């Protein structure tokens, strides 16, 4: 099994790539994920081939062009910690995208298997579902960028803001069995940003039989692979934590199972911070 933490490059590659996860490097079948940092005027162009893509403008503005769509000057937030919903673009398999940075740009490219025939579309902030999930020290802000209710072949994309001192992806849950309607099999990546950036998040990834049981200190700009098992996240006091989740599997459905040892937390009266 691959190491669960994927670290960014010290400097961008020639095309601006900072971080890359492919099914081959992760040791799984479905999810691919890339992060690019571009300067104003720099360009990125790629064919999707047999994968669909969700381009998430984490921060900055850009022009985006696909074979049949063009969206000039999209993007609004200059930092993920502005906590406003992002602009994104869905690009189907068999298409091509070209992107030109208009400002300093941090771009996430979320990838999973797709079939040709869908149409590319812009996902504006008004199309992103916003919710507060959990209560007390489990409360976090969720932006549903590409949820199950919106058309795609494989991808599910969501971002989460966890305040310092809070927990998220909590109570611990998993989705590693193809056993619908009770549970779905979904590989998942977590891409982390931390504010202030010298901080860290803590993520544990573990299975019922503890054949996998790792507790990770994750730094700003790093990603975590979740091939199976439960995967809670903690934001230490004083440090706000952002992560972007990409999920995909044999069926496009998010059905999870809480760790039975901690499921009682779903109904516990927790004190507000």
230 vs 206: CA distance, rounded Å: 5
The number of domains in the chain is 1
> Which pLDDT does position 266 carry in this prediction?
87
Is 271 inside any structural domain? no
Q: Structure pTM? A: 0.96
Q: In what order do the strands lie in the sheet with 121-123?
A: 17-21, 32-38, 105-113, 51-59, 88-91, 121-123
Per-residue pLDDT reduced to its tens digit, 212-239: 999 999 999 999 999 999 999 999 999 9
Q: Are 185 and 225 in contact (CB under 8 A)?
A: no
Domain presence at residue 148:
yes
CATH code at position 103: 2.60.120.10
Asked whether residue 44 carries a pLDDT value surpassing 60, the answer given is: yes
Residue 113 lies in a domain: yes
- Per the prediction, the chain carries an average pLDDT of 96
Any domain includes 272: no
Domain housing 107: 5-266
Q: Residue 166 falls within a domain, yes or no?
A: yes
């Amino acid at each position: 099994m691959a190491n669960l933490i994927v670290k960014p490059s010290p400097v961008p590659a020639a095309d601006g790539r900072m971080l890359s996860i492919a099914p081959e490097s992760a040791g799984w079948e479905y999810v691919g994920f890339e992060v690019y940092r571009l300067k104003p005027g720099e360009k990125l162009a790629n064919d999707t081939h047999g994968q669909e893509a969700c381009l998430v403008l984490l921060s900055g503005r850009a022009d985006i062009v696909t074979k049949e769509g063009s969206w000039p000057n999209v993007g609004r937030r200059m930092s993920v910690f502005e906590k406003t919903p992002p602009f994104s673009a869905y690009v189907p398999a068999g298409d091509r995208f070209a992107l030109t940075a208009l400002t300093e740009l941090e771009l996430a490219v979320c990838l999973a298997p797709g079939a040709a025939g869908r149409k590319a579309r812009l996902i504006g902030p008004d199309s992103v579902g916003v919710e507060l999930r959990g209560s007390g020290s489990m409360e976090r802000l969720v932006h549903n960028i590409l949820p199950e209710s919106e058309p795609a072949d494989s991808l599910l994309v969501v971002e989460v803001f966890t305040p310092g001192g809070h927990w998220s992806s909590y109570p611990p849950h998993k989705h590693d069995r193809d056993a619908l309607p009770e549970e779905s099999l979904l590989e998942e990546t977590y891409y982390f940003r931390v504010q202030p950036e010298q901080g860290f998040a803590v993520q544990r990834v573990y299975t019922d039989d503890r054949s996998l049981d790792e507790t990770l200190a994750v730094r700003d700009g790093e990603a975590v692979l979740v091939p199976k098992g439960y995967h809670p996240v903690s934001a230490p006091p004083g440090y706000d934590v952002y992560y972007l989740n990409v999920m995909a599997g044999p069926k496009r459905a998010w059905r999870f199972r809480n760790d039975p040892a901690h499921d009682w937390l779903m109904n516990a009266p927790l004190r507000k911070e």
